[in-house]
Amino acid sequence: MKKIYINRTKHAICFGSTMLLPGSNVAEEIDEKKFPSIKVHIEADNIEVSEDPASAVRDANTQQAVDDLANMDPKNEALQKNAGKRKGVLDKLDEQAKAAAAKKAKQEAEENGESEEGEGE
């Protein structure tokens, strides 16, 4: 059965082949007998188990997590609305990351071009 886990830390937490990224995750239920450390994480508020995909979508940090949450209840209008908003936020973050990477690549290319010219003198 799929469950919503919200990883409140700034790093991934693994339980066997299940990796919970920071933010909301939809995953098969983690067996507490096989992975008793999940209880420790829940008690320490590192991980929250949520029953509400419409609110959990606000903590989703990947497009895939948003899609997984939205697919949990496709007829829930509040969920679909929140998912659309979150995808918009993530799209803007993706655009900013691409622009920053392009800027860095351009700067590095310019620096390499300058150093090549200086070597020939």
Tell me the domain boundaries of the chain: 2-119
The string of pLDDT tens digits covering residues 85-96 is 999 999 999 999
Helix (H) or strand (E) holding 17: none
pTM (2 d.p.): 0.79
Estimate to the nearest angstrom the gap between the alpha carbon of 79 and the chain centroid.
18
In which residue ranges of the chain is pLDDT below 50? 116-118, 121
Q: For residue 64, what are the CA distances in angstroms to 3, 47, 76, 86, 100?
A: 15, 19, 18, 11, 23
The string of pLDDT tens digits covering residues 78-87 is 999 999 999 9
